[in-house]
Amino acid sequence: MSDGKTRFGMSRADKERLLAAMRGQPVPGPDHGRTARRHIAPELLRFDTLPGYTEIRVQQAVARQAGLGEVFYVCHDGLATNHTCIGGRELLNFSSYDYLGLNGDPRIRAAADDAARHCGMSASASRLTAGERPPHRRLEKLLAGMYGTEDCLCFVSGHGTNMSTLGCLFGPRDVIFYDALCHNSLLLGATLSGATRIAYPNNDMTALAALLEERRYEHQRAVIVTEGLFGMDGCLCDLPRLVQLKREHGCLLMVDEAHSMGVVGATGRGVREHFGLAPDDADIWMGTLSKTFCGCGGYIAGSAALVEFLKYRAPGFVYSVGMPPPMAAASTEAVRIMLAEPERLERLHANGKRFLSLARERGLDTGKAQGFAVIPVMAGDSLTAAIFSQEVRDRGVLALPMIYPGVEEGKARLRFFISAMHTDEDLRDAVDAAAESLPIARQKAVAYAR
Ligand SMILES: Cc1ncc(COP(=O)(O)O)c(C=O)c1O
């Protein structure tokens, strides 16, 4: 149109700004010179024009049209163990990170109750200003002991732990090499730091070695970042080789043990124990307390200097409330029970292997899974994965889909989280449900696309 308006009645400049905002690109500012009227496109003052909003709405509309119920944000009626109840219907549960089945344990409730009575529910403010409570340091000492490191620090969020730690330890003159399958919190932490970010293909140590050779020496500090057990794919990192490479190229090594601490290793001490390595083979051991340890928050274990630095510089620690004391006490008790009752880990390890072999026998594609607590069953596109989840639920099994943008389109999957509490019958029923459901999901997705 010649009057400078588009057919939606919006000026061309406004439309450009809207399109840039929707693409996630920097929004060009009004370019009218100093005397021109300042103009802000109304679309920039709304949330439904945010990049990604349309994508969410389209996914929801497709799910509704395909006859799917609520895929995400399902409300459990109460405690979810190996079984759960949703809207009064009992389901076999494969959707919780409660790997050792400790979440409903009365001893953990008692520990939390006791801490609540003595210390209250909240730490009220940052520990830097409002002070600490005995459960904080007790948990940190216990975790440092599990790794054999000098110290440990607990943050109120696992996600925030990664963001804050990478964000404050590294800067624009540094470089972060990270596994392409690393969790969002690690990627955001790397972005926040302002360091150069270089991804290497998952567990590809040859590619990492080449990248280190080529790029490490342009920078000051360098860190290699990996997960211990990859939460999306259920495979272990190649820790021995990572340690070798970090030594060869003068890097630090950070290992996120969200899914491996309390899961991997003969006594649950994570990938360090599994591979028989020393405490200082990695420089930054990270983990979350929200999974096996039935609490909330994350930790960093390492040298005294690292912990001291984070205590005064990590924004998610300095400027955020301390972990609620009952949560710290609950996680402490969970660690104690794990160490005192090794049969839980034995069952978890046996269940993981059993589920994997049952799934493979039925011809399911379990991707890179190695038979630990996370086992994906690959579905393909996001719609197939969503229908797959609904189909297994119709057969009495709860396992949630991981779809785009959580994983690349075409690599959507159901993730089965294995627990020590699952019985052999649970595992067989779940695999049967998955094997029956997947071909049906594929047919329905194809029919829907026609
Ligand atoms: C590998 C990894 N790191 C960090 C986090 C964040 O932990 P949290 O959920 O405890 O905040 C998660 C969450 O699932 C994770 O999978």
Name the CA dihedral angle for 75, 293, 369, 414, rounded to a multiple of 10 degrees: 0
Phi, psi of 158 (to 5 degrees): -70, -45
291 lines ligand 1 (CB under 6 A): no
Distance 19 CA to ligand 1 centre (A): 33
pLDDT in tens, 277-332: 999 999 999 999 999 999 999 999 999 999 999 999 999 999 999 999 999 999 99
pLDDT in tens, 234-278: 999 999 999 999 999 999 999 999 999 999 999 999 999 999 999
| Atom nearest to 157 CA in ligand 1 | 11
258 lines ligand 1 (CB under 6 A): yes
185 lines ligand 1 (CB under 6 A): yes
pLDDT in tens, 364-406: 999 999 999 999 999 999 999 999 999 999 999 999 999 988 8
25 against 295, higher pLDDT: 295
Q: DSSP E strands: which ranges in 228-328?
A: 252-256, 284-288, 298-302
Domain 120-340 class in CATH = alpha beta
Ligand 1 pocket test: pick from 166, 184, 185, 226 the residue with the most ligand atoms within 8 Å of its Cβ.
Answer: 185
415 lines ligand 1 (CB under 6 A): no
CA atoms of 110 and 115, how far apart (whole Å): 9
Distance 258 CA to ligand 1 centre (A): 6
Peptide bond into 405 cis (omega under 30): yes
pLDDT in tens, 137-175: 999 999 999 999 999 999 999 999 999 999 999 999 999
**Tokens for 413?**
């999957």
Measured by CA distance, the residue closest to atom 11 of ligand 1 is 158
CA atoms of 71 and 424, how far apart (whole Å): 27
CATH of domain 57-102+342-449: 3.90.1150.10
Measured by CA distance, the residue closest to atom 8 of ligand 1 is 158
Measured by CA distance, the residue closest to atom 9 of ligand 1 is 158
344 lines ligand 1 (CB under 6 A): no
Task: Please report the pLDDT score of residue 65 as a whole number.
Answer: 84
* Helix (H), strand (E) at residue 85: strand 83-86
CA atoms of 307 and 217, how far apart (whole Å): 27
pLDDT in tens, 224-241: 999 999 999 999 999 999
Domain ranges of the chain: 57-102+342-449, 120-340
290 lines ligand 1 (CB under 6 A): yes
Distance 158 CA to ligand 1 centre (A): 5
| Atom nearest to 296 CA in ligand 1 | 10
Cβ-based neighbour number of residue 171 at 10 Å: 12
